[in-house]
Structure 1
Amino acid sequence: MTVQTPPARRTAATNTTSAYGWVERGFHWAIALLIPTAIALGVIAHDMAFDTDAALARKAMLFSLHKTVGVTIFFVALARILWAASQPRPAALHPERRAETALASLVHWLLYGSLVLVPLLGWAHHATSEGFAPILWPFGQSLPFLPKDADLSATLATLHMVFERVMVAALLLHIVGTIKHSWVDRDSTFQRMWRGVDPGPLTGAGRHLAPLAGAVVIWAMALGVGLWLSPHPATASATGVASVSAPSDWTVEEGTLAITVQQLGSAVTGTFADWQAAIAFDEAPRADGSLGTVEVAVATGSLTLGSVSDQATGADFLASEAFPQAVFEAVLLPGGENYVAEGTLSLRGVEVPLSLPFTLTLDEGRATMSGGVTLDRRTFAMGETYPDESSVGFAVEVSVDLVARRDE
């Protein structure tokens, strides 16, 4: 009678050409727990309502946890890749099955790359957006060389989503392969990674470049799909949604109309892409003491406010579908060393008096203007489901900067 000796278990930290050490197995199972955790948190947070203070706080916390787990995956994956690069690669148990072995290697390369690319793209999306859900760590929320840019952030978010799909597909193929080895082949593939089983000497160990090249091609295709699906930068047309009726003797050459709000204790700044100004201004005072008039029309739906743009333009706040345009009409007056635009603001069906102080520099027919004012969202019945400032602040800081040229 022949007694079969059970395969040995490897307890060393390092790999061999036939078995995995406990360090690589630890990396593998840590990532195996982190990936579904990150996916579940992201899906639940995305689908969760945010129509009350408590709901918004829960949604933000889940997104913060999702981002934090994602960044953790990034660093764990980097450590695993560096460790694997320093170790022998255990050979396949069935090297004679060339197509199957090549496919398994391709899937492994896709997983390795995705574990770095997916969280990195998500991190970059977070860093470039005016987000409301911070990463839960003390090292800051930005990344070098990545500015706050709504269009760039939208592109990165799309790429993050597309590359995530590649990762999920590779993960499912990896799981299917594991099931096949366990239930069809009944070999020790799973046990090598689970318990460190060493099946004995194997041939064909090493890393092959063809599967890596295939993975690079798939990533390049994913990049192309992501860029194609990405929203194009918003540009306001010459007339746009915003329109003014007052006469103007100045043409705005460039400018920015921005708002800053407090959300969950953090400042979030956004800009309106579509707004127009009709300016009638002279340095010499008129008979009534004014220096001219201004009318500013703003397409409320053109606001980009980081990750909460849809919420800001929705029914609870700007209600852009019902009130597509806000209008500020004012008389321009001298105000000591500076100036003031004294008039009324019509926003969301409410008309209120408004004084906007500003500075003005004139130079050979060109004017550079900068001003700002703070509004209270409650004045316009905005965010009534957020009755305190625990989630959304009451104050809305409005700032305008522009350069205009006097018409001949």
Structure 2
Amino acid sequence: MNMTYRPDANSRKAQRYSRVAILLHWAIALLILSMIPMGWWMVRAINSPDSQQTAYQAFQLHKSIGFAILALTVLRIVWRLTHRPPPLPANMKGWEVFLAHATHMTFYAFMLAMPLTGWLYVSSGWAIATDKPLEVATSWFGLFTIPHLPGLEANRSVAFGAMGAHAWMAYGGAVLIALHVAAALKHHVIERDGVLAQMLPFFKQRAEKTLDKPAGAVSALAGFAALAVLALAGIEANRPAPLSQAALQAMEPAAEDAAPQAAAPGPTLAPAQSNATPAPASGATAPTWTIDKAKSSIAFSGTHAGKAFQGRFEDWSADIHFDPANLATSRAVVTVKTLSAKTGDPTQEGSLKNGEWFNSARFPDAVFTTTGFKSLGGERYEAEGTLTLKNKPVPVTLPFTLTMTGGKAHMEGSLQLSREALNLGMFSDPAAEWVSKMIDVKITVDADKAASP
């Protein structure tokens, strides 16, 4: 290697990295240092019921920090390409210069490869901890959803390969950080050449002779190759065993565009016997009611990762014609925009709109249409109808109470709906290991009777 020291007017001038470079360096460093112990803990804690919910939250934080590292790294590379770093000390040996440049290049590759392999993993829709499909949305610190990489849905091979590379590079990254810190301390304590002060503004820096030698292609390739070997080793070591035929059949998802069919009846979904007064085919004469949306709601609740959750639909409408004295002409149609489901957890909300749940892009509406009403005595009633979700009709019986005062009405109803009957999340969570199989639904409606024409 031909490294020449060029004595010029600036050769003994103390030099530091720019403020932007220093800020980016330490911001990325602190984020990476938080990620390694978090990652090691959460992959073990996610399988324990006592820590599952905390681990779930840690996974979401881990993903958000990973994307922050990716964005900051891209910015750091752009800044590095447009702003020359300070030169190395002139007393460094050739092999030390080579290793310094190779280490820096490896760090850049590491900071790009780690979040990218993590992105591949979450996009694959497969949990290697349980070796089952699991589709979870990615919300960046709860501010916005980051889309999955396309074409990787329920891809087991990609999941295992990406996580193998991710894990092995994490171990390599820990070693790389230790070597980097050791080298910085060597320069500061033993060599006393001011290298550490270049990145620490509060350290006093001495003017030193410098070696103005940019990073070479060979050192860069060496750094990239070292990381690539680690990634390939992780992929090879994490190759999964083939799934059994029974496991494949158990995880076979139902086709969402299949011909409409009634779901298997269950205790909370089966229609009541034919005691209800059937609605006539035409000529409904029951008065129309206008909903007060500010006082009305459709809410749902259940458990997720061992913790109770509550949600609501923010966008829905109803066409109601009801007369307790004339149930035969009473009818109602309620249309719910599934994309409006809110739980207060951006990751849950992002997952709900996905394919195996509501698939809101393809099936934006869930529609409940009554087929008849019956009185249970006093203010208690029951509405029989059909809930159509993802083009599949499911018979539903909704018990409710109704209080009417003059031209105003207050209704409250509740029921349980089965995820299995509605085919919600049954591909990734058929055994309800994550989300409760039964979901409670509560409906509250305040309405005003429309004026007669």
TM-score of the superposition, structure 2-length normalised? 0.50
Seen in structure 2, the aligned counterparts of structure 1 residues 186 and 217 have a Cα distance that, compared at 3 Å, is: same
Q: Is 1:35 matched up with 2:24?
A: no
Q: Does the 8 Å CA contact 2:28/2:73 hold for their aligned counterparts?
A: yes
Q: Does the 8 Å CA contact 2:117/2:165 hold for their aligned counterparts?
A: yes
Partner residue in 1 for 2:253: 258
The amino acid across from 1:157 in the alignment is M
The amino acid across from 1:121 in the alignment is T
Select 2:236's aligned residue among 228, 246, 253: 228
Q: Does the 8 Å CA contact 2:184/2:196 hold for their aligned counterparts?
A: yes
Distance in 2, matches of 1:33 and 1:126, equals: 23
Q: Once the 2 structures are TM-superposed, how far is the Cα of residue 255 of structure 1 from its aligned partner?
A: 11
Q: Is 1:207 matched up with 2:215?
A: yes
Distance in 2, matches of 1:88 and 1:97, equals: 21
Q: Is 1:179 matched up with 2:185?
A: yes
Is the radius of gyration larger for structure 1 or structure 2?
Answer: 2
Q: Secondary structure at the match of 1:139?
A: strand
Distance in 1, matches of 2:51 and 2:92, equals: 56
Seen in structure 2, the aligned counterparts of structure 1 residues 241 and 56 have a Cα distance that, compared at 3 Å, is: closer
The amino acid across from 2:181 in the alignment is I
Q: Once the 2 structures are TM-superposed, how far is the Cα of residue 22 of structure 1 from its aligned partner?
A: 0.6
Seen in structure 2, the aligned counterparts of structure 1 residues 50 and 217 have a Cα distance that, compared at 3 Å, is: closer
Seen in structure 2, the aligned counterparts of structure 1 residues 102 and 89 have a Cα distance that, compared at 3 Å, is: same
Partner residue in 2 for 1:60: 56
Partner residue in 2 for 1:156: 162
Q: Once the 2 structures are TM-superposed, how far is the Cα of residue 114 of structure 1 from its aligned partner?
A: 0.1
In structure 1, the gaps of 5 or more residues are 1-15, 243-253, 271-370, 397-408
The amino acid across from 2:74 in the alignment is L
Select 1:92's aligned residue among 88, 95, 116: 88
Distance in 2, matches of 1:74 and 1:241, equals: 36
Seen in structure 2, the aligned counterparts of structure 1 residues 57 and 101 have a Cα distance that, compared at 3 Å, is: same
Seen in structure 2, the aligned counterparts of structure 1 residues 17 and 113 have a Cα distance that, compared at 3 Å, is: farther
Q: Once the 2 structures are TM-superposed, how far is the Cα of residue 145 of structure 1 from its aligned partner?
A: 4.5
Distance in 2, matches of 1:19 and 1:375, equals: 57
Give per-residue Cα distances to partners, 1:201-243, cap 9 Å, x unaligned: 6332322122112112213312331231122462446xx799x
Q: Does the 8 Å CA contact 2:164/2:231 hold for their aligned counterparts?
A: no
Q: Does the 8 Å CA contact 1:18/1:200 hold for their aligned counterparts?
A: no
Distance in 2, matches of 1:220 and 1:49, equals: 29
Partner residue in 2 for 1:69: 65
In structure 2, the gaps of 5 or more residues are 1-12, 126-133, 257-301, 306-347, 357-419, 440-453
Q: Once the 2 structures are TM-superposed, how far is the Cα of residue 89 of structure 1 from its aligned partner?
A: 2.9
Partner residue in 1 for 2:272: none
Q: Does the 8 Å CA contact 1:178/1:189 hold for their aligned counterparts?
A: yes
Select 1:392's aligned residue among 417, 424, 435: 435
Seen in structure 2, the aligned counterparts of structure 1 residues 172 and 153 have a Cα distance that, compared at 3 Å, is: same
Distance in 2, matches of 1:373 and 1:185, equals: 69
Q: Secondary structure at the match of 2:233?
A: helix
Q: Once the 2 structures are TM-superposed, how far is the Cα of residue 262 of structure 1 from its aligned partner?
A: 8.8
Partner residue in 1 for 2:21: 24
Q: Once the 2 structures are TM-superposed, how far is the Cα of residue 144 of structure 1 from its aligned partner?
A: 3.7
Q: Secondary structure at the match of 1:393?
A: coil
Distance in 1, matches of 2:251 and 2:108, equals: 43
Distance in 1, matches of 2:174 and 2:251, equals: 41
Distance in 2, matches of 1:133 and 1:207, equals: 40
Seen in structure 2, the aligned counterparts of structure 1 residues 62 and 376 have a Cα distance that, compared at 3 Å, is: closer
Partner residue in 2 for 1:169: 175
Partner residue in 1 for 2:445: none
Q: Does the 8 Å CA contact 1:124/1:156 hold for their aligned counterparts?
A: yes
Q: Secondary structure at the match of 2:252?
A: strand
Q: Does the 8 Å CA contact 1:258/1:269 hold for their aligned counterparts?
A: no
Seen in structure 2, the aligned counterparts of structure 1 residues 95 and 134 have a Cα distance that, compared at 3 Å, is: same
Q: Once the 2 structures are TM-superposed, how far is the Cα of residue 257 of structure 1 from its aligned partner?
A: 2.0
Q: Once the 2 structures are TM-superposed, how far is the Cα of residue 87 of structure 1 from its aligned partner?
A: 1.3
Q: Secondary structure at the match of 2:161?
A: helix
Partner residue in 2 for 1:46: 43
TM-score of the superposition, structure 1-length normalised? 0.55
Q: Does the 8 Å CA contact 1:64/1:133 hold for their aligned counterparts?
A: no
Distance in 1, matches of 2:23 and 2:53, equals: 34
Q: Does the 8 Å CA contact 1:17/1:89 hold for their aligned counterparts?
A: no
The amino acid across from 2:172 in the alignment is V
Partner residue in 2 for 1:249: none
Q: Does the 8 Å CA contact 1:41/1:65 hold for their aligned counterparts?
A: no
Distance in 2, matches of 1:201 and 1:178, equals: 18
Select 1:189's aligned residue among 188, 195, 217: 195
Q: Does the 8 Å CA contact 1:376/1:394 hold for their aligned counterparts?
A: no
Q: Secondary structure at the match of 1:194?
A: coil
Seen in structure 2, the aligned counterparts of structure 1 residues 86 and 374 have a Cα distance that, compared at 3 Å, is: closer
Distance in 1, matches of 2:231 and 2:65, equals: 23
Q: Does the 8 Å CA contact 2:16/2:86 hold for their aligned counterparts?
A: yes
Select 1:142's aligned residue among 128, 145, 148: 148
Give per-residue Cα distances to partners, 1:133-152, cap 9 Å, x unaligned: 74434133412454341221
Q: Once the 2 structures are TM-superposed, how far is the Cα of residue 154 of structure 1 from its aligned partner?
A: 1.5
Cα RMSD, aligned residues only: 3.8
